[in-house]
Every structure is written in C-alpha cells, then in structure tokens.
Structure 1
Amino acid sequence: MNNNKLHILLALAVLICLSFSCKNEKNGNLAAVVSKIEKPNIVVIYLDDLGYGDLSSYGATELSTPNIDALANGGIKFTNGYATSATCTPSRYALLTGMYPWKNKNARILPGDAPLLIDTKQQTLPKLLSKAGYETAIIGKWHLGLGSGFVNWNETISPGPNEVGFDDAYILAATQDRVPTVYIENGKVVNLDKKDPIQVNYKKNFEGEPTAKSNPEMLSMKWHHGHNNSIVNGIPRIGYMQGGDAAKWSDIDMADHFLTKAQNYVKSHKNNPFFLYYAMQQPHVPRTPHPRFVGKSGMGPRGDVILEADWCIGEFIKTLKEENMLENTLIVFSSDNGPVLNDGYFDDAVEKLGDHDPKGGLRGGKYSLFEAGTRVPFITYWKGHIKPSISNAIVCQMDLLASLGDLVGETETTTDSQNILKTFLGETEKGRDHLILEANSKTALRSGNWVLIPPYDGWPLNKKVNIETGISKAYKLFNVVEDKGQKNNLAETNPEKLKQMIAIYESEKFK
C-alpha cells in the first residue's frame, strides 16, 4: 500500500471517530468525550456550617459574597443541593466515600482523638481519582479521625488522609474548637518541638493545666456550653491538651494559612491533573476573623468570617486565573451542613443577626431533620464548559464520587453514590429521584417535591442551640416546593401520599 492510500485511510478513520464523538455529544454523552480529550483539575471547596441563606447569590440581603456569587452566576446554582447529614463528620464521610453515613454506626461527630472513621480498604473519591492519574490533596479541616486507637501526636500519625487516597494532606485534626490545636502535614505535627511533647485527653485534664472553669480570667472569648476545657490563644476548647506550644496554630491567621497552602498547591501541581479538597473552617465556631475583617459585616464574628471566606475564595480563584488553570478546573462549592448561631460561645451571632436569615426561608438548621439541616448552597463551575443556569434538580455531595469517576473514565464504583454527572455539568435537569437524609443517626426522605420525616422519640427542640430537631412521635409530610418553610404537615390530610412515601423510604433504607 502506497503512502497516499495510507494517509487517506487514516484520515477516514479520524473522521469516523470524530463523527461518533459528535454524535455522542449530541446525545448528551459529552462527559465521555471530555474525559477522553482532557482531564480537568477538580477542586471541592467545602465550608463548615454555612447555611442555605448565608450567600447573596442564595438570597441574602444583609451579607454580600461577590466571589462565591461569581461561581454561582457563572456556573450552576442548585436550589435542591444536599449534604447527606445535618452534622459535619457524617457529611464529610459521605462526600469522600460515596456511602450513606447512617450505614456506619460510628459516623457521628467525632472527638479530636477518635480513630480513623474511613476503612483504609474502602473506595474513596481521592483513590478513584488517583487511579485515573490525578494527584490528590486535602487542605483544611479533616474531622474523620486519625490513627487506629491511641494517637501519639509526637510521632507519625497513621492511618489518616494519606492512607485513604490523599497524596498530600495539610489538616487540622478535628475542628477549630477541639484539641489538639495544631496543624498536621502528612501525618506529622507541624513545628513540633520534641522537647515539649503533646498530650491529649478528652476525659481528664492534665495536672496544673488551666481550664475555662478554673481560670476564666485567661479567656478572650466566653463559652456558652460545652467549650470549657483547655485554653489556647485565650479561647476555651473541647478536650484537654498539654504541651506542643511551638506547634499551636494562630486562630486569627487560620484562613490566610490554609489559603496560602491551597494557592501554593495549585501553583506547584499545574503540570498534571489534580484533585484538591479545600476544606475551609468558616463559619464554624470559634469564629476568629483576621483583624482585616473584624466588624466588616456588622453581624459580629459569624458574619465577618463569612466575608473572610468569600475573600479567600476570590483570592484562590484569582490564583487559578493567573496560572492559566481556570478553564481547565471544575470547581464544586458546598457546605457540610446547615447553619447554627450560638454553637458554644457568646459571640453576638444571635444579638447582631438583624434581618439576616441564615436558613434562607427553610426550617431547622444544623442538627435538624428539617430542610435547613441538610439543604445547603451547592454550585458547580467550569469556565467555558458549564453553561450558567439555575437547577432545581435534587443533587447530593455523596454523588460526586460516581459522577466525577465517570468524568475521568473510572466507572467501577461500589458505593451508594449515583452517577449524575450530566446534572452536575448542566446537561440535564434530572437529578436524584430519592435521597435519605440524616441528623444524629435519625433519617428522613426527600423524594420529588416531598419530604417525609418518620416518628422518633426525642426532643423537638435542641435548647442549647435553639434549633428545631424535626423529632416528634408522629409522621410529618411536607411538599417542600409549595411549602419551603415546612409549615404545613400533610400527613393526616394526604394519607395516600404518606403511604407512598413510607413505602419509598423503607425500600431505600433497607435495600
């Protein structure tokens, strides 16, 4: 065969392949084509306790969040986006494993010295992306446990994020209000002086160590409930800690610290596809805005740290632009659960709230089975690839595993995660049909326009934080499209729908 004929045959082969690609694209299989052409960087920006109504793009009028709004206005703003759970550890577990957290009896709010919650043999989002050739990193809050029992904070801590799929991990172990108040990089406490070893205990204080109760004069922030143990930087914490003075973080610099780490990571990894889980600490307590943001919101520290988080995100996006990575980076923005005002400290969150509604018209909040516990801001943004729109599809963070796996060509998953990639990319308005939601190990159902909350024993009001739990001894049934605030319980007046929802709930829960 001469060269001319060979060239003609090769050209025909290319045309045939392109025609199939175009056909697939027209049929809605854009993801399959994209995954063959390029593997975008993937960034999940995850806030902590941010409510559905805390952003101006989601209706807030008393706070302005222009940088997050730019993502919402330039991407897909989901109005029915969910965390799986109304508290942090379970939602983070679901995000990274694609599993319903209520299936794991240990997936509850963990103390700072808890063992690793994720089994190192489990399939995880970073493992899946690593398999597809991605470099993976977490920067920020972890709160999924470390080690396999007793943790020696003065040696390499394992297992942890590195053992469940992250190549790089720069974290705080649990939450900002829990000890140990140190950063951990790939299993080692940062700036640790071995001559001043760290000890942590969640049951008993160390002899001679001051606490919020014994030494209130040392406090710069007054505790309301629960946060009355060791004092670090004038802030009372949950749990007791001794030693590690050189390694202790500066609370007011935490946002800047994590931002710099995230910026440096993308700069140093721009030559290969990467997955970055940027887990910000705002607006979780203790709310410690940098002095640049103190008083900026007029709502006290809670409002200030939301503005601080928005600024950080703006600076991070600016870095992606400067490094010419924005067009090849898929960004997912969300929160681990709904809002709470007074969650352990007196910080004027209630007193200075004014006309702001963190719930955005929903009912409940953090810890609650009502919608404000789990329905959160949810945005997907990919410049030049996702057409700006507002979607009413039901989507869940748990579904990122299967969906992103499809995007990068890894479709073998063994989790509860559903592949709704087309929804996340804006190719369809169809999302999940059914979703089990969870708060403190109790579950509810979102199905279509409806929410079912089964009967439970317990308190209808969490008095410490003044949030309705959704718990009662009778079924509750709401059409949350017509009744966003869940004011009208239709369980008695619509028995046929109630029966149908109970059947769906039981089939989903026990399948």
Structure 2
Amino acid sequence: MTTPERPHLIVIYTDDLGYGDVGFLGPSDIATPHLDALAAGGATMRRWYSNSPVCSPSRAALLTGCHPSRAGVDHILGAPRGRDGLPPQPTLASRLADAGYATSMVGKWHLGTSESSSPRALGFGSFFGFLAGCVDYYSHIMYWGDHHPIHDLWTGTQETWRNGEYLTTMITDAAVQVIDEVADDPMFLFVSYNAPHYPLHAPQEYVDRNAHLPEDRRMIAAMMSAVDDGVGEIVAALERQGIRDNTIILFSSDNGPSAEERNWLNGEEIAFAGGSAGGLRGHKGSLYEGGIRMPTLWSWPARITPGTQITTCCQMSDVLPTVLDAAGIPPADQHVVDGSSVLDLLTGTKSEPEDRLLYWEYDGQTAVSDGTWKLVRNVRERLGAPTVEKIGLYHLAVDEAETSNLYAADHSEAVRLGAALDDFETRLTGWQQQISQQGQELSPIPTAAP
C-alpha cells in the first residue's frame, strides 16, 4: 500500500477524564502504558483546554473550530430521538471529506439525535455508536433523566442490538476494523469513547487489574484500563497497515472529571471523588482549571519529535485549523473559525508562543485567560453546584490550583482582562441572537492579548 502524502488522522476522545487520570502528565495511580508510550513518542500538551466544561459544547468546538455558542451548541443536549443539535455547517469531517478523505466515526456522538444533526449529515461517511450522552455499557440503553429508557446503538442509521457486549471493547473493535479496511485514500477516524463517564461499568478483568485502589478510584481506573488497551490495539492496527508514521493521533477528553453523585454504584448520595483533576481546582461543569484543562497528546512520527513538551495554552477549537494545515487544505473563505493552527508548535518550527486570549462560557459562568492571568465570573466548583465566586483573578503562572483570588488587590490585570471579558460576553449575546439566522457570517473572537 502506498502511504498518501496527506496524513491520516485519528482523534481519540474520552469522556469526563481528568488531568490526573493518565500517566503521561506525571505520577498517577492509574496505569496507562499505551497512552504514555504515545506521549513519549510525540508531544505532551501541558496546557490544552476544552472550550467548555461539559460534553456537547466541547465536541461542537472540536469539530467546527468555533466557540460552542457560535457553533450553536452551548449546553448539554438531550437524549430523546429526533432532537436537533449541531446545526448544519462545515466540520472537520466535511472539510476532510471534501478533500478526498474517507471519514468514519465510532462511539459517542452527543451532538443531536435528529437526521439533520447526525454524524452522516455533518461529514462522516460511516458511523457506529450512540447518538446521545450516555448509555449502559452492556445494554446500550439510556436510563437517566425524566424520560423512559431509550435504546441507543446504531450502525449508520440502522438500529443495532448487541446486548451484553462491553461498549468500550465494541468501540475499539469498530475502530480497528476501519483501519484494517483503509484504502489508498487518506483516513479520518474519530474514536469517541464514552469511558470513564457514568455508569461506571467495566469487565471483571479490568476491575481485578486495579483491585489495589479504593472503590471509587478503582472503577475509573478499570474503565481507563480498557480504553488504554484499546489505544494499544489501534496503534497496532496502524502498524500492521504500514501507516503509523504518517498518521496523526490526537488524544484528549471533552471536559474534566465528574463529581456527580450518580457515579456511585453503591447508593451513595455524596459527591463522587473517583476522577482526578491532578491537583487543579474544579470538576466537570466548572470553569476552574480542573473542569477545562485536558489530558492531551499529539503523535505524528513523521513530523513531531519524540518527547516534545508544550506549555503554550491551546484550545480544542484549534484542532480543525491545525489538521487542515497539516493536510495542506486551505481555509474556506466562508468558514470563520475561532481556533488557530498550532502545527508549528507541534513540529517545532515555532518555539515562542504568541500572546493570545482564551475564552470560556457555560451556564452563566465566563472566563478569560492569557495563560499567565485568568479572570472568572460567577464560577462554580462542579456541575449543578452553586456559584462560589462572583469574580476572581488568578495568577496561573504561580497558582495553577487557583487558591488565591487576587481580584481585591486591584491589579491592572483585572481591568485589562475584565474589558476583554466584557467584549466577549457582548459577542456571546450577539451569537445567540444570530445563530438561528441561517447563513449569516459571525465575526471572529479577538484573541490578541491587549
């Protein structure tokens, strides 16, 4: 088989995985040897951020290159069939498909359950997985919320029944099948694991592998052991096909670890502490670092130097422009994105980061950071929790754990970042008003640090 000039791309996404739940970012009680090997052979991203602290908006930003509100998904989408989600627009999948890539997705979608918001409608040539936010790992049924159970497993548009099979293993097997069938065309494969999102299910072999850990931590570790084994199988499949060197692999998570009570399987009704944010403050649903800083690596043996460590602040919306840059695909005139290509950082052709502002919004919380300083408004510790700070200023350069709110010290940084956040909040209002107006072009977020 002839390796195409354009690289293959595999995005491996996990669900509710914390910054401290992998080995490649530092000491961890969860063993992830395959991920650690990928990181050692590629680039570890020390400050890679999700665009949102929850599932659906994060995925929207990944696939569109836009802030979630601009993309049209700023909240967690529901599970009932026929619900619209991500509006029709260019995506990473559609841009790559237009350039001749074979595009496939396996696993969790969570960007709408209607036909117009389906993976196929938004650029994927094939799909195996589930459309909503979470399912039982063995029955593939959604049981939660104020609705009746919903079976949610599909091959394309065909409902698929495979009761009793562990979903993480099924996702891995489907991904390996796509790789084994790769033709001469370049491939984009989105492998979207739902682990370690609740319900905390894992086969006995993985529970036994982590029997030394406390109950809550043990189940997160067991689920991640299954994912890590899957990553090993995916890499092995690439090697069998002789395409490993020219394959870009991105591994990350949609948001930080969940502290929701429903993670427990023993009836506990207290906050769950099984996931780890690696010493960072906050969990899923929070704009503190623990809710939005993601365990992330890039691997591309042909271009990325092994052992690369990158501390520049980057965001999930950077994926689309980075991948298009790597594939030599020019930006589309009518497709405005908020992300920036970080290809030069990954390949070492640019070492000095540019001044840049990153912005977040979720459920009344907003934040802005230039990497050194961060301003937050109406922030919470976790999903569903009350507001704990109306406004906070943190010096991330010396306080990554966000323990000291310096806003009252009247720093000039509070004024500078406050003005930028005011502007962002104004733009948010405009996006929310305009998003329903099909075809209207929205102006990009200003990212140059003032």
Confirm or deny: 8 A CA contact 1:102 1:441 kept in the other structure.
Answer: no
Mapped partners of 2:151, 2:226: distance in 1: 21
Mapped partners of 2:346, 2:424: distance in 1: 23
1:377 maps to what in 2?
A: 295
Identity %: 28
The answer as to 2:355 corresponding to 1:424 is: no
1:313 maps to what in 2?
A: 231
Given candidates 135, 147, 156, the residue that maps to 1:176 is: 135
* 3-state secondary structure, aligned to 1:387: coil
Given candidates 387, 396, 399, the residue that maps to 2:318 is: 399
Cα distance change on mapping 1:431 and 1:71 into 2, 3 Å? farther
Tell me the alpha carbon deviations over residues 323-365 of structure 1, each in whole angstroms, 9 at most, x when there is no partner.
21111100011000001244414237999x9998711110001
Per-residue deviation, 1:438: 2.9
The letter for the 1-side match of 2:231 is I
Confirm or deny: 8 A CA contact 1:60 1:356 kept in the other structure.
Answer: no
1:293 maps to what in 2?
A: 206
1:387 maps to what in 2?
A: 305
Tell me the alpha carbon deviations over residues 382-404 of structure 1, each in whole angstroms, 9 at most, x when there is no partner.
11320121110111111111121
Per-residue deviation, 1:461: 5.2
Mapped partners of 1:272, 1:158: distance in 2: 27
The letter for the 1-side match of 2:190 is Y
The answer as to 2:220 corresponding to 1:302 is: yes
2:46 maps to what in 1?
A: 79
Answer with 431-440 or 281-290: which moved more: 431-440
The letter for the 1-side match of 2:169 is D
Mapped partners of 2:383, 2:185: distance in 1: 50
Cα distance change on mapping 1:349 and 1:68 into 2, 3 Å? farther
Mapped partners of 2:188, 2:263: distance in 1: 35
1:188 maps to what in 2?
A: 158
Tell me the alpha carbon deviations over residues 263-296 of structure 1, each in whole angstroms, 9 at most, x when there is no partner.
0001111421010010011100012112221232
The answer as to 2:102 corresponding to 1:135 is: yes
Confirm or deny: 8 A CA contact 1:364 1:469 kept in the other structure.
Answer: no
Mapped partners of 2:287, 2:116: distance in 1: 34
The letter for the 1-side match of 2:321 is A
2:394 maps to what in 1?
A: 478
Q: So what's the TM-score if we normalise by structure 1?
A: 0.73
Per-residue deviation, 1:165: 0.5
Matched ranges for 1:314-463 at <5 A: 314-347=232-265, 358-388=276-306, 389-408=308-327, 409-412=329-332, 413-429=335-351, 430=353, 433-455=356-378, 460=380, 462=382
The letter for the 1-side match of 2:339 is S
Per-residue deviation, 1:369: 1.3
The letter for the 2-side match of 1:116 is D
Per-residue deviation, 1:455: 4.0
Confirm or deny: 8 A CA contact 2:21 2:28 kept in the other structure.
Answer: no
* 3-state secondary structure, aligned to 1:414: coil
Cα distance change on mapping 1:325 and 1:346 into 2, 3 Å? same
The letter for the 1-side match of 2:299 is Y
Runs of 4 or more consecutive aligned structure 1 residues displaced over 6 Å after TM superposition: 348-351, 353-357
* 3-state secondary structure, aligned to 1:416: coil
Confirm or deny: 8 A CA contact 2:283 2:381 kept in the other structure.
Answer: no
Matched ranges for 1:117-156 at <5 A: 117-120=85-88, 122-147=89-114
* Unaligned ranges ≥5, structure 1: 1-36, 148-156, 191-246
Cα distance change on mapping 1:319 and 1:84 into 2, 3 Å? same
The alignment yields a C-alpha RMSD, in angstroms, of: 2.6
* 3-state secondary structure, aligned to 1:133: coil
Mapped partners of 1:383, 1:139: distance in 2: 24
Mapped partners of 1:111, 1:288: distance in 2: 22
1:202 maps to what in 2?
A: none
* 3-state secondary structure, aligned to 2:121: helix
Per-residue deviation, 1:60: 3.5
Confirm or deny: 8 A CA contact 2:259 2:272 kept in the other structure.
Answer: no
The letter for the 2-side match of 1:57 is F
Per-residue deviation, 1:186: 1.5
The answer as to 2:58 corresponding to 1:91 is: yes
Cα distance change on mapping 1:433 and 1:294 into 2, 3 Å? same
Matched ranges for 1:97-246 at <5 A: 97-103=64-70, 106-113=73-80, 115-120=83-88, 122-147=89-114, 157=115, 159-174=117-132, 175-176=134-135, 178=142, 179-190=149-160
Mapped partners of 2:222, 2:287: distance in 1: 28
Cα distance change on mapping 1:60 and 1:102 into 2, 3 Å? farther
Mapped partners of 2:369, 2:128: distance in 1: 35
Confirm or deny: 8 A CA contact 1:369 1:469 kept in the other structure.
Answer: no
The letter for the 2-side match of 1:476 is G
The answer as to 2:226 corresponding to 1:268 is: no
Q: Which is higher, the Rg of structure 1 or of structure 2? A: 1
Per-residue deviation, 1:115: 2.0
Confirm or deny: 8 A CA contact 1:367 1:469 kept in the other structure.
Answer: no
Cα distance change on mapping 1:469 and 1:168 into 2, 3 Å? farther
* 3-state secondary structure, aligned to 1:393: coil
Confirm or deny: 8 A CA contact 2:258 2:275 kept in the other structure.
Answer: no
2:448 maps to what in 1?
A: none
Mapped partners of 1:318, 1:348: distance in 2: 37
* 3-state secondary structure, aligned to 2:39: helix
The letter for the 2-side match of 1:180 is I
Tell me the alpha carbon deviations over residues 427-454 of structure 1, each in whole angstroms, 9 at most, x when there is no partner.
3242671111233353211213111102
* 3-state secondary structure, aligned to 1:390: strand
Mapped partners of 1:469, 1:272: distance in 2: 50
Per-residue deviation, 1:158: 5.4
Cα distance change on mapping 1:425 and 1:441 into 2, 3 Å? farther
Confirm or deny: 8 A CA contact 1:138 1:276 kept in the other structure.
Answer: yes
Q: So what's the TM-score if we normalise by structure 2?
A: 0.83
1:52 maps to what in 2?
A: 19
* 3-state secondary structure, aligned to 2:209: coil
* 3-state secondary structure, aligned to 2:173: helix
